[in-house]
Amino acid sequence: MNFARSPRIAAGLTAAVSLIALHASPALAFDPTGSDVADAFLNLLDAEDGTVESYGSVDGSGGTVTISDIVVTKDGDDDGRVTIATTTLTDGAVQDDGRLKLGSLALENLQLTADDGGMSLARLSVTDLLLPSAKEMGADTPPVGPGYKTLEATSIEILNEDGKLANVARISSSIDAMDGDLPTGGQFSVTGATVDVKQLQSEETKTLTDLGYETLTVDLAGSGKWDPDAATLVISEMKIDAKDAASLSLSLSLGGVTREVITELNAKSDKPEEAMALLQNVTIENAKIRLDDASLTGRVLDQEAKKAGVETPQYVAGLTGSLPLMLGMLQNKELEGQVAQAVTQYLTTPGSLELKAAPSAPVPLSQIMGTAMLAPQMIPQILSVGITANQ
């Protein structure tokens, strides 16, 4: 089992969710339970460098199998351990190809410990789950694609060796529609991810502390829909909302996203250069990026003004006064005027800043990349970029 060695949030959450899909050893290192469904699940937890050390009772009734007190240890590491108080497998069936299909999976009171920290979560629940076989997981190229319909994790805590580093109230994800084995619609959210800034050791977190943030709470949300027949991909929302700081949101519409493109991208996920080549004929139809301030801009301006030894209004006036010179590189007088006006409004009275790209016809990514190398100042014109503030 690959235990998370880093106390970072992403590593910890990945470790929790990956309990349901790990590199499995084909041989059972635990005593068979008498239930094919329970054995298949435990076999996926029993990995090459980890062992299902023990479990409590295994009860089956009416299509539900409940396993209590699972303990998974990391070979050669006395501190590496995962415990799951209760595991509930509903409507399970081991298929002819060795895959385990579940109507639902619920893990309650999961604890992961390691020598540099650990994590815990109150509950992880997944519906319409299809887990790969041990043979598939042991292959160099395991199956690609979602194996679930909905996923929710609640009350997550991330620890380092000094104590609690972060907690997350809720993580949810859903696959709302499918085209064969490919998802065509879905959404996700992370709610109440609170980080103790003082516990993090980096230049970025020192900057946050200097700005007056002892903790930072972030919500994430995203949703999208792919129409394989029309070859369009619409990301209707991708938002990061940092409380008492700022929120950043993105929406995007792409064309030329065919079944072949998606299939090839999945196949070349470990070859980024080849994957980029597949995007040459994908087009941008429109895009929007919006920044909404919630005190972060004012904090930064106050801090920089203090460093310069001037009052904040004077510092802002100096910044906005230099905009015409800085914007000359755009070589587009109309856009220069828009940017100067919007940025001046935003810095003077921080509210929102919105950038839109609305070309009259879809623009291929190959054209954008070529323009970026030869004449980057032309990109705003190609994409018909506009900018507004406080609207």
Q: Which residue, among 148, 62, 56, has the nearest Cα to 102 in the 3D structure?
A: 148
Beta strands in the chain (DSSP E): 50-54, 58-61, 64-74, 77-90, 93-94, 100-114, 117-131, 150-160, 163-179, 182-196, 215-227, 232-242, 246-255, 283-293, 352-357, 363-364, 385-389
Are 161 and 117 a contacting pair, CB within 8 Å?
A: yes
Lowest mean pLDDT among 48-57, 115-124, 259-268: 48-57
The whole-angstrom separation of Cα 272 and Cα 38 is 38
Q: What is the mean pLDDT of residues 62-74?
A: 92
pLDDT at 26 over 70: no
Annotate 356-376 with b (16+ C-beta within 10 A) or e (fewer). Answer: bbebeeebbbeebeebeeeee
Q: What is the mean pLDDT of residues 69-86?
A: 85
SS3 385: strand
Rounded to the nearest integer, the mean pLDDT of the chain is 86
Residue 16, number of CB atoms within 10 A of its CB = 21
pLDDT of the residue at 244: 96
Which residues are CB-contacts of 282 (< 8 A; sequence separation ≥ 6)? 254, 255, 256, 257, 261, 364, 365
pLDDT at 86 over 60: yes
pLDDT of the residue at 115: 79
Which residues are CB-contacts of 337 (< 8 A; sequence separation ≥ 6)? none
Which residues are CB-contacts of 110 (< 8 A; sequence separation ≥ 6)? 16, 19, 82, 83, 84, 85, 120, 121, 124
The whole-angstrom separation of Cα 369 and Cα 389 is 28
**Per mean pLDDT, which of 67-76, 145-154, 248-257, 369-378 is the most reliable?**
248-257
**Per mean pLDDT, which of 197-211, 238-252, 317-331 is the most reliable?**
238-252
pTM over 0.75: yes
DSSP annotation of 34 = S
Which residues are CB-contacts of 138 (< 8 A; sequence separation ≥ 6)? 23, 24, 25, 26
pLDDT at 31 over 60: yes
pLDDT of the residue at 324: 87
Are 159 and 165 a contacting pair, CB within 8 Å?
A: yes
The whole-angstrom separation of Cα 130 and Cα 102 is 6
Are 232 and 257 a contacting pair, CB within 8 Å?
A: yes
The whole-angstrom separation of Cα 154 and Cα 121 is 6
